[in-house]
Structure 1
Amino acid sequence: MTFDFGPAPRTRGEAVATQPRILGFYPGPERCGWLATRGGRVVAVGTAMLDYVDRPAFVDRFTSELRDTDVDVLVVTGPPDTVDQLATFAEAAVAAGTAVDLVEVHGAEHRRVRPGHDPGPWRATPPPPLHILAAGYPEPALTWTALTERYELATGPGVVEDAPRLTHTQKATLDRLTPRTRHNLALRTLDILGATRGPLDGIEVARLAYLLTDPIVRSSLAHECVQDRGRVDTMVQAHRVAHIEDGAALRSATAALVYATSPTPTLADWIAEASGNEELSEQVRQLIQHATPSTQVRAIVQDPAAMASLAAADDAWIGATLTPLPDRVRDLAAQLDPPRGPEPPRLPPPNPGPTITP
């Protein structure tokens, strides 16, 4: 799966500092992280378990992925004393003809390791490069488990079962809006939620969830959000607290966005599963099962056809809802016709007076 995450790190330390920001967590005992570059750009970032039951199968699969991506350099990071596990990636890199750098990380320090050699000295890890800080990635979770908790449904008695819901009157009001207005309102609601400090407003979440039940609005909103990591993160937070019975469309859109923007499809799979049998979620899960590159999903979400469909839906709504001007003028004229009934009394014609003849 390839993206363009920006310029390749200039040093091993920069690579170590870059990984957690893109991955969303700090690699540790549960999972390691890896970063791949090609032509001076970071083209792939991923995570994997440190211990594989079937190590040869993993080596074959990862070797094939490196070849398909045409990677120049692979940097793999893990916790201290895991050089034997990291060697699995080195084996795949060698088979693919890719240069590899294995790094152990402990707190704010890192060191290079090589199978069969003494480890290098511990060095201080620098801050992430400025372009990574400016990209808007959320603060990394401390562990993989902590990251997954950011994507799963909020826990606690009744959090999603008793979440606020719109009334029938509120839904009917939204239904009377044009598709374009619904799209703009959904985007505005998402931005309001994104600016919230503290718990999200349940009614705003419910409004966003209902607006996204319109497939046209859902596609156009996803198109607007796919290049904005802040909005994607807000969608994730909204999905976590939306009512369990009302949030399927919101969760399916979030699953598609996370798949299109995250190097870890597992996170998208969890969100899709939480939406039940919603059609888009089923499609996302099928794509994940077939290991469809996330770049293909991103291309679908970014397709300008989503906004063209919104414009067409708006025109169709106006055509079906508003009466043409000539018809409205005729209706108004009919309303102004005098009432039918007996003729009103008329004044007699004026008397011209005496006539003078010459």
Structure 2
Amino acid sequence: MKTTEVKIGNRVIGGGNPILIQSMTNTKTQDVEATVAQILQLEKAGCDIIRCAVPDMEAAKALGKIKEQIHIPLVADIHFDYRLAIAAIENGADKIRINPGNIGSEDRIKAVVDAAKAKNIPIRVGVNSGSLEKNLVEKYGGVTAEGLVESALDKVAIIERLGYDNLVISIKSSDVMMCVKAHELIADKTTHPLHVGITEAGTIKAGNIKSACGLSMILSQGIGDTIRVSLTGDPIEEIKTAKLILRTLGLRKGGIEVVSCPTCGRTQIDLIGLANKVENLVEEFSDLDIKVAVMGCVVNGPGEAKEADLGVAGGIGEGLLIKHGEVVRKMPESELLDALREELTNWPRR
């Protein structure tokens, strides 16, 4: 699905550009120091665009100070009060997220649109299943994908009638299949870029599974220009999962892919502990685009790791270091992680 390009700060989405990863801070936006600290951590993890809640005027005014200290586009999340949207724009927001349905009268929506137009910043029109209008719930006999799409397109039409089309659309639901269907329906009805995510997906365990299922079904159809994995947890986990989803689907390169075998009766080392340590270790090497295998036994380890660039396989208190399917060193189990770190540190960079 080819969408129009939209510039958000120093990044561009749509028009065939790479899919960008978003997250949202969970600090109090008014606390500039804490918010900046979290954003800088998210930048390091691979976040491309960051959104902050703007519940009051103090938060809106804090955006300017926050923006001065970060390096990725800053999006202001607004609900209900149109004056907060205008203040966020005036304080340097690179994009605003609103639901025109809860902003109020068309005059108030126009005031927001005029402010965005003056700065030429995009408006993300967001509609969630939890806030679907009563008339659409009645029309479709409940909350449905069709209702979400109609609601979003109605809101877009309001802004377009006001003479502005620098827009991004999001239609989110916590129901995975409803969300998938809604994106399939809207893809043929608009050329505005789509921000994709499963909203209120849940805790890290449940949310990762729901997000992976939903995002994969949507993105694999060529739908979506920017994504967020919504988790009840540390926002850093959202970035990790989003990167893995994009890499698994072949939509983004970079970073190390870790493959590890399931434990079985042949396992002679602490495979679970080692695999987790390796997964943490490789986060330090985001500039590498290779595959690392962690195998539990020396019987099948070398063979199973042959498709990986680098790997380790365990034995009884010892292990093997494997490069491109060939055993290169044997060492005590306690030295495997350090040996792997040394190899990654010295791995050729392109």
Q: Tell which has more relative contact order, 1 or 2 (C-alpha 8 A, sep 6+).
A: 1
* Structure with the greater alpha carbon radius of gyration: 1
| Structure holding more strand per residue | 2
TM-score (norm 1): 0.28
TM-score (norm 2): 0.28
| Structure holding more helix per residue | 1
